[in-house]
Amino acid sequence: MTTTTTDAKTRELERKARQGDGNAAFELVQVLARAGQPLTELVKWLPSYDSHDSDAKTLHGTPLDRGYVGWAPGDAGLEYPTWKDFYHGPSEKRGSILVDEGGYKGCDDDLNIVVDFYFRTDHDSRTCTACQGCGYNPETAALYRSFYRWDDQLTQDEVDELVRAGRLWDLMRGEKHPTADKVNAWSRRGLGHDGINQSILVKVRATRLGFYGLCPTCNGNGSERLSEDRLALYLWLILPRKGASRGVEIKSVQVSELAEVREFLRRSWRKHEQHFKWVTG
């Protein structure tokens, strides 16, 4: 009976969260975390970042998905290991532009403003030593690294594959299906092939030569995982008086800290509401 009641409550929270109810989403995340759900599941209920991964739809399939927000992990100018470091740490650790106006407590005055935010799961990693990050097996990796020694000697089947992928658009003005000779002449003259063309061509040639494959160590990721998943929070901060803006990456937020994070974001929103009250009435 208790289980049924709990399930019904969880389903109700899910329903509300799907409609964009942040209160319900936060509560649901706590419930699911207690039930042992992994962070990759929990983050689906938080405003999250679509990294354009091929599996983004299944990872972030709820209406809470932020879609592409215009700045990515790695654009972050300031990093904090934990939420505590960011929110409760000494202000001198809070990065040069935000510090000397009083650290992040500036959020509550008019100095630092949170413009946007999203959550994401992340983990520490390092470049795969077996493939040096290219993600291919040794034979394919050799072909990949020697690409600019054969990129003007493409065969017709390789060019056909570029055409199929819509990759020769600038060359193909008025020409639907160029010959290999034409493409090779073009690549000697102009900018040549980009990284996407390179990966297509490496795959076609390596497959034809019978050795195409991904790196068995990293399974094609190009990196090796060094830690468990953690929940990361990304903030876009501006300090108008200094004409400064920063992406802030808080590398690890505990589920138990989400209530405080939410209160912090709520205060940021109230600040915007005050600024724009005249406009919105």
Which residue from 13, 218, 237, 258 is in contact with Zn ion, where contact means CB under 5 A? 218
- Residue 14 is which amino acid? E
Choose the binding region for Zn ion from 10-18, 49-57, 131-139, 150-158 (rule: CB under 5 A).
131-139
Residue 233, token pair as written in the block = 């929070």
Distance in Å, CB of 225 to Zn ion, minimum = 12
32 touches Zn ion by CB under 5 A: no
> Nearest distance from residue 129's CB to Zn ion, in Å?
8
215 binds Zn ion (CB under 5 A): yes
Q: Is position 130 an interface residue for Zn ion (rule: CB under 5 A)? A: yes
Region from 3-11, 13-21, 69-77, 208-216 binding Zn ion, contact rule CB under 5 A: 208-216
Cβ neighbors of 115 (< 8 A, separation 6 or more) are: 236, 237, 238, 245
Among 37, 155, 199, 217, binds Zn ion (CB under 5 A): 217
17 near Zn ion, judged by CB under 5 A? no
217 versus 252: smaller Cβ distance to Zn ion:
217
Who contacts 274 (Cβ-Cβ below 8 Å, separation ≥6)? none
**Whose Cβ is closer to Zn ion: residue 130's or residue 185's?**
130
H helix runs in 146-281, sequence order: 147-150, 156-164, 180-189, 195-209, 258-280
Q: Where are the alpha helices (DSSP H) in 38-155?
A: 39-42, 56-59, 83-87, 96-99, 138-145, 147-150
Binding span for Zn ion by CB under 5 A among 128-136, 145-153, 159-167, 170-178: 128-136
Determine if residue 36 is left, alpha or beta; phi over 0 gives left, psi from -120 to 50 gives alpha, anything else beta. left
Q: Minimum distance from CB of 134 to Zn ion (Å)?
A: 7
Site string for Zn ion, 176-195 (x = CB under 5 A): --------------------
Cα(104)–Cα(85) distance, integer angstroms: 11
Q: Which is nearer to Zn ion, 41 or 224 (CB)?
A: 224
Instruction: Give the strand order in the sheet containing 113-122.
Output: 78-80, 244-250, 230-239, 113-122
Question: What does the alpha-carbon distance between residue 23 and residue 5 come to, in Å, rounded to a whole number?
Answer: 20
Among 131, 162, 232, 235, binds Zn ion (CB under 5 A): 131
In this structure, are residues 137 and 214 in contact, taking their beta carbons and an 8 Å threshold?
yes
How many residues lie near Zn ion (CB under 5 A)? Answer: 6
Please state, in angstroms and rounded to a whole number, the distance separating the CA atoms of residues 18 and 56.
17
Among 46, 128, 159, 162, binds Zn ion (CB under 5 A): 128
Q: Which of residues 93-122 bind Zn ion (CB under 5 A)?
A: none
Nearest residue (CB) to Zn ion, 200 versus 214: 214
- In the complex, the smallest distance separating the C-beta of residue 198 from Zn ion, rounded to whole angstroms, is 17
What are the residues binding Zn ion (CB under 5 A)? Answer: 128, 130-131, 215, 217-218
